[in-house]
Structure 1
Amino acid sequence: MVESRVQKSLMNAKVNLVFYFVFLCLSFFSRKIFLECLGADFIGLTGTLGNILSFLSLAEMGVGTAVGYTLYKPIQQKKYAEIDEIVSVFGYLYRKIGLFILTGAAIFSLFIPYIFRSSDFSLGVIYFAFFSILLSSLFSYFINYRQILLTSDQKGYIVTAYLQSAVFVKILLQMLLAWSFKNYYLWISIEILFSILSCIILNWKIDMEYPWLKVSVPKGRQVYSNHRDIIKTTKQVFVHRIASFLLNQSDQILIFAFASLKMVAYYGNYTLIATKIAQVFSTAIDSIGAGVGNLVAEGNKQRIIHVFWELMAVRFCIAGILVFGLYFTIEPFIVLWLGEQFLLDKIVLILLLVTIFIGQIRGPVDIYISAYGMYADTWAPITEAIINVTVTFIAAYYLGLSGILIGKIVSMLFIVVGWKPYYLFTSGFKVKLRSFWAGMARFYASFILSFLLVYLFKEKFLESLAVSSFTDWVVYSSIVCIPFVIIYLSALWLWAPGVKSLFLRILIILKLRK
């Protein structure tokens, strides 16, 4: 069982990494073309509309998370009839949620003329974009819901391979049409066309992968009462989803409210770079979530905690290198890529990097809380949301974009950094919290000392380095980042828990693959 879990995790990681590198290059080229041919306001408009629909998707209430958790054990035990029943219930619930989202979107659309009254776009363009994005979203609720089984069965690489291939072709076609015609309607129409195509391909593959799967919405309605535990977990997850949305999905809406559509696009340039670089690691690591769920289901406490520290070691390696590299290289890259006029204040970059760092290191805690199904702390996301909204609205009024990020950071410090580890260690692992902070102190110390050493070295000896081309940028990035990587990884090896065992695990896996 362990070997199978490792093999599936490796396959997920491999596929995710392949598509990451493909989309890394494509994203920067497409972003530049879209900004030049369609304008920053249009990119800001589509981003804002997407985030508004993400808010409506809160109606999903965490059903997917609850069902994914419920599927771990029957998948492990190969109880096909039970799996079929659970996915049918999932389809029934998703159908109801989809209808709710459709109704909410229709009501919201009545207010579009008032919300975007200062926009330079015609209502035709705004409505066409809104309902196109809505249609693409609704496919997940009415047709694609069966993909939950692929994810829970650690076969998310299948979803990635088919859907991302379609996205790749879609972006290429959008780039060509934007360059040739500079037409908003054509760009949006391609979104709809490829959403339909992706839907057809994905469901065909699910039928091939699970020929025994005979789910149906009517069946889900009939057996719904037998799975009340899903509803209980869903209600708990829903509250957590609200806080998650406010933290991760509301930035563009708030920037639009306190600044402008153009600023949404400018901020999006920074987040595009940061997220694309982070995805090379996080998509590979996140793909093991179902594997952790199976590990927890086996119940070996010592091994469960041991793997937790290995995952934390991976996350700190990613977070430290990512944040250091972005701090020194993102601004010269944006100047070369788009132009100096697209730079934001340095304080915005620093605050963004703080959110990225916390977002990376929270990963193992979130994965284990999900694997244990620990969502009963509904007060925590409510508190997080209150802190976030209160601080954001006060700070954003005076500081604009910086205030929005400050609100996010303050709420994360209280709940994500403080409460969540306590909850996992005391209620999940059932061990003393001091073991967590003893390990985390070593991770933090490794990063801070490494950062300061290389920062002082750079300020003293490398300040005069000029970056006037992408070749210069590569040389500059290498000179700055390589010393940090060496020092940082050495410090983690000497001090941090889980690093040495992780390295040995990687060596063993590489030997087995030869």
Structure 2
Amino acid sequence: MSDGRLRNSAKNMVSGMLFRILSMLTAFVVRTVFIKCLSNDYLSVNGLYSSILNMLSLAELGFSTAMVYSMYKPLAEKDYTKLSQIMRLYKRVYRIIGTVILFIGLLIVPFLDVIIKNKPDIEGLTFYYLLFLFNSVLSYWFFAYMSSLLQADQRASVISNYSTIFNLIKTVIQIVLLLAFKNFTIYLIVQMLCTIFQNIAIAVRVKKDYPIFNNLKEELPRQEKKKIFDDVKALMLQKISFKILNTSDSIIISAFVGLNWVGLLSNFIMIEEAIVAVLSQVTLAISASLGNLFVESDDETGYIMFKRVDFMNYWLYAFSAIALITLSNPFVKIWLGGNYLLSNIAIVALFSRFFIEGYINTMSTFRSALGLFKQGKYLPLVVAGLNIVLSIGLSYPLGIAGVLFATPISRLCINGWYMPLVIHRDGFNKPVKPYYFKLLFRFSLLACVVVVMQLISSAVFAGGVTIIKFIIMVIITAILPNIVFLIVFCRNDEFKYFKNLVVHRLLKR
């Protein structure tokens, strides 16, 4: 990767991580105030309705990914006429998507009682759902499409900066109003207004930085529209699968296990999402650079970059999964108390899902950057269908843990072998078998380290969880797994690359 791409990726990564870390801290503050001022029932409703609206965003059908991919070449060639045409199409599509989501969302209203098992004693459940729905719809109607141009142009840091500002504003206002009024409606209205104003602020910045928005009247040629829509058709099935895998768990838990479990789970998911948000900045920051790289470079250069990012992704997600499995329950006990804990098997299931999802999503980033949208386009539906069947089936003997285990099992059974095959065979023209052996070794190593850390954790927390014991366990968790990985991978070419990169940067300072 050239110095320019590396610099852009590093800039996007740093700003994105700073935003995510700040968001993580503010989210914990808001969640604490939320629980103290309202109740776990409201928390459960918030988690369930968020999942339903995430599911409804299926209407987007992969347009954002296809649009960003279509911008790489005109941006590299400074073809602003083509960019103008693409953005005009994107604007029209997003307004239609917002309308479709509104229509489908309203159709779900009569079935809310079916989705919610053990309905809580809360008035206005339908009204709260409508607020969630309008928040999602307004995001599509008010300039959300414009941020994609910044992402394609390796300027994700601009989006992160605006998100940081508006997230802080939203957090402060929500905390003050929750403490003053203890009202869920006001909390949701603040969330909606901040979403709208953030999109408007980004739109103003984009119009200022890109003159193409002074001429948004030219239509994209029919052949190029067809190419984009063909990519969307291929991405559509992948998008449906992704949404079902990532949003169906809360809905199935609510319908088959109980709504109160959604609230308990949401605290752990918030911790998980905070870590994912930070880690995803690595792949998000380099995704536009990858698109630019594959436009301008040969397959061998791209494959070397794939191996480096794949190795970095494994280390980051494996270490994070170990830390989450080891520390999440003790952390929640200190934070909220013993009534908000999950069983150990549910914790392992949840963060196994986290690791598999993060690992596969990075491969998905390369698949998108390589434009491999059509290969295996029907397999995502198989993954989604298998996940639903396993989630419902395993919910009876294992409860919430069964629903959570279904997702990583479904992903591994299909995506775990096919995604590497597509990238190696169709993207880089390389044999995939050595990579399968590499995956088997890496997963086995992770499982062994998790078992060792669980034994150490049991010994440290014997007699109960205290802040001192938690700090001791944090230190052990931060050091021991990384020492193991260092010993195992120190002779690895990818490890040597990152070591030399860090040393080089430090010497330059």
Q: TM-score range by the shorter chain?
A: over 0.9
The residue number in structure 1 matching 2:389 is 390
Shift of residue 231, structure 1, vs aligned partner: 0.5
Classify the secondary structure of the residue corresponding to 1:249: helix
For the Cα contact (< 8 Å) 2:117–2:254, is it kept in 1? no
Aligned equivalent of 2:335: 337
Question: Which residue, out of 354, 375, 382, partners 2:352?
Answer: 354
Q: Note if contact 1:59-1:101 (Cα within 8 Å) is conserved in structure 2.
A: yes
Partner of 1:202: 202
Normalising by structure 2, we get a TM-score of: 0.93
Residue identity in the other structure for 2:203? N
Alignment of 1:37-186 (within 5 A): 37-112=37-112, 115=115, 119-120=119-120, 125-144=124-143, 145-186=145-186
Superposed displacement of residue 238, structure 1: 0.6
The SS at the match of 1:175 is helix
Question: SS of the residue aligned with 2:211?
Answer: coil
Equivalent residues of 1:98, 1:141 under 8 A apart: yes
C-alpha deviations, 1:253-297, integer Å up to 9, x for none? 111111222211101111111221333322233221111111111
Deviation at 1:446, TM superposition (A): 4.3
Match 2:494 to one of 498, 504, 507: 498
Amino acid corresponding to residue 336 of structure 1 in structure 2: I
What per-residue deviation string (whole Å, max 9, x for no partner) do you get for residues 438-470 of structure 1?
Answer: 4434534543454455555666x646485322x
Q: 1:426 touches 1:433 (CA, 8 Å); kept in 2?
A: yes
Q: What residue in structure 2 maps to residue 423 of structure 1?
A: 422
Q: Is the CA contact (8 Å cut-off) linking 2:174 and 2:190 kept in structure 1?
A: yes
CA distance in 2, matches of 1:119, 1:448: 38
Q: Which residue of 2 aligns with 1:292?
A: 290
Structure 1 residues 129 and 365, CA, compared in 2 at 3 Å: closer, same or farther? Answer: same
Distance in 1, Cα, partners of 2:462 & 2:100: 58
C-alpha deviation, 1:23, in angstroms: 2.0
* Offset at residue 211 of structure 1 (A): 2.9
Contact 2:117 2:259 in 1 (8 A): no
Q: Secondary structure at the match of 1:323?
A: helix
* C-alpha separation in 1, matches of 2:119 and 2:453: 46
Q: Which amino acid aligns with 2:84?
A: D
Query: In structure 2, do the counterparts of structure 1 residues 114 and 439 end up closer, same or farther at CA, with 3 Å as the change threshold?
Result: closer
What is the Cα deviation at residue 35 of structure 1? 1.2
Change (3 A) 1:253 1:499: same
Structure 1 residue 433, shift from structure 2 partner: 0.9
Q: CA deviation at 1:115?
A: 4.9
Figure out how many residues of one structure are paired with residues of the other and give that number: 507
Partner residue of 1:378?
377
Report if aligned partners of 1:147, 1:159 keep a CA contact under 8 Å in 2: yes
With normalisation by structure 1, the TM-score equals: 0.92
| Correspondence for 1:508 | 504
The letter of the residue matching 1:423 is: V
8 Å contact 1:318–1:360 — kept in the other structure?
no
The CA deviation at 1:192 is 2.3
C-alpha displacement of 1:120: 3.7
With over 3 angstroms needed to count, the CA separation of the structure-2 counterparts of 1:394 and 1:31, relative to structure 1, is same
Match of residue 483, structure 2, among 452, 474, 486: 486
- In 2, the alpha carbon distance for the partners of 1:147 and 1:155 equals 9
Contact 1:162 1:198 in 2 (8 A): yes
Change in 2 beyond 3 A, CA 1:463/1:142: closer
Paired amino acid for 1:503: K
Three-state SS of the structure 2 residue aligned to 1:431 is: coil
**Structure 1 pair 261/92, CA: closer, same or farther in 2 (3 Å)?**
same
RMSD: 2.3
**Matches of 1:338 and 1:458, distance apart in 2:** 20
Contact between 1:443 and 1:492, CA under 8 Å: does it hold in 2?
A: no
Compute the displacement of 1:508 (Å). 3.1
Secondary structure of residue in 2 paired with 1:213: helix
Unaligned runs of 5+ in 2: none
* Aligned residue in 2 for 1:414: 413
Q: Amino acid of the residue matched to residue 482 of structure 1?
A: I
Structure 2 distance, partners of 1:119, 1:150, is 43
Inter-CA distance 367–114: structure 2 relative to 1 (3 Å threshold): closer
- Tell me the equivalent position of 1:274: 272
**CA separation in 2, counterparts of 1:453 and 1:180?**
47
The aligned amino acid for 2:205 is K
Shift of 1:497: 4.8
- SS in structure 1 at match of 2:214: coil
Q: Distance in 2 between matches of 1:424 and 1:49?
A: 36
Q: Which moved more, 1:35-44 or 1:356-365?
A: 356-365
Maintained 8 Å contact 2:326/2:454:
no
> Residue 15 of structure 1 aligns to which amino acid in structure 2?
S
